[in-house]
């Protein structure tokens, strides 16, 4: 067997029959996520919460945007650590993860989609542990097989007629916010991008808006994709922004 660092792991057995039986046992453990290549005394015995704290400091705080940092830290502190806590990370199996998923759905009353997001983040901690040589496998791999999200469970976007009705209502009852909602609807800006937009981002001659900033947890960052983009203004949006600027 080969661990995450490319090192060969050997298991000593007796006869050929014993070796075959051991191979079958290991293959079954690999399929079910119960394979542990880190015996006690090796790095796999590190408590889960210790690895999770390192993941927050060495990955989340350095690489993720503010909103994602807050979300990840909340999951670790409110969900992951209370459940896995001092358990050795190398001893956590897919069955443990299934029990955790069941708790999220039945006790915490989370939707299937939200529960799956938790598993994806949890899997990130195990991937971090694999990269550091702490464990050899990820028991949260393929979270969709643990929590199934119905295909129809997707965001319900406004249709064109509904958008027109909504914008008309905003213009009549909240005229101060009309330009903002018009920009969101016609140019597809996210809330953080709207809050960070500046008049200098608008090219009135070309009829475009350059999206190059985002506000997340009070901090100015890059857009969600990490890249700037240019979007076209509809004539209606251009007229609305022109009137709003005066």
Cα(101)–Cα(110) distance, integer angstroms: 10
Contact assessment for residue 201 and residue 235, using Cβ atoms and an 8 Å cutoff: no
CA angle 219, 212, 55 (to 5 degrees): 45
The pLDDT tens digits for 120-179 are: 999 999 999 999 999 999 999 999 999 998 876 566 788 899 999 999 999 999 999 999
Percent of the chain having pLDDT more than 90? 68
For residues 218-236, average pLDDT? 89
Residue 41 has pLDDT above 50, yes or no: no
Residue 91 has pLDDT above 60, yes or no: yes
The pLDDT tens digits for 12-26 are: 556 777 777 767 776
- The alpha carbon of 59 is separated from its chain's Cα centroid by a whole number of angstroms, namely 13
Query: What does pTM read for this prediction?
Result: 0.62
The pLDDT tens digits for 150-161 are: 876 566 788 899
Contact assessment for residue 72 and residue 60, using Cβ atoms and an 8 Å cutoff: yes
If we measure between CA atoms, which residue out of 122, 150, 151, 99 comes closest to residue 48?
122
């Amino acid at each position: 067997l080969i661990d995450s660092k490319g090192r060969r792991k050997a298991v000593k057995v007796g006869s050929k029959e014993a070796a075959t039986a051991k191979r079958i046992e290991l293959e079954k453990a690999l399929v079910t996520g119960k394979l542990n290549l880190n015996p006690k005394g090796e790095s796999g015995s590190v408590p889960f919460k210790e690895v999770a704290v390192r993941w927050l400091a060495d990955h989340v705080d350095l690489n993720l945007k503010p909103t994602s940092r807050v979300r990840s830290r909340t999951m670790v502190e409110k969900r992951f650590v209370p459940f896995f806590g001092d358990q050795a990370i190398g001893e956590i199996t897919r069955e443990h993860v299934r029990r955790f998923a069941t708790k999220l759905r039945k006790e915490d009353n989370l939707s299937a989609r939200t529960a799956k997001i938790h598993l994806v983040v949890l899997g990130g901690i195990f991937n971090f542990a694999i990269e550091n040589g702490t464990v050899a496998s990820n028991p949260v791999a393929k979270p969709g097989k643990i929590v199934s999200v119905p295909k129809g469970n997707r965001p319900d976007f406004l249709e064109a007629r509904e958008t027109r009705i909504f914008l008309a209502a905003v213009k009549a009852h909240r005229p101060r916010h009309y330009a903002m909602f018009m920009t969101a609807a016609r140019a597809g800006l996210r809330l953080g991008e709207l809050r960070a937009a500046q008049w200098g981002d608008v090219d009135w001659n070309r009829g475009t808006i350059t999206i190059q900033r985002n506000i997340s947890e009070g901090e100015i960052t890059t857009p969600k994709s990490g890249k700037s983009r240019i979007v076209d203004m509809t004539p209606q949006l251009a007229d609305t922004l022109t009137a709003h600027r005066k």
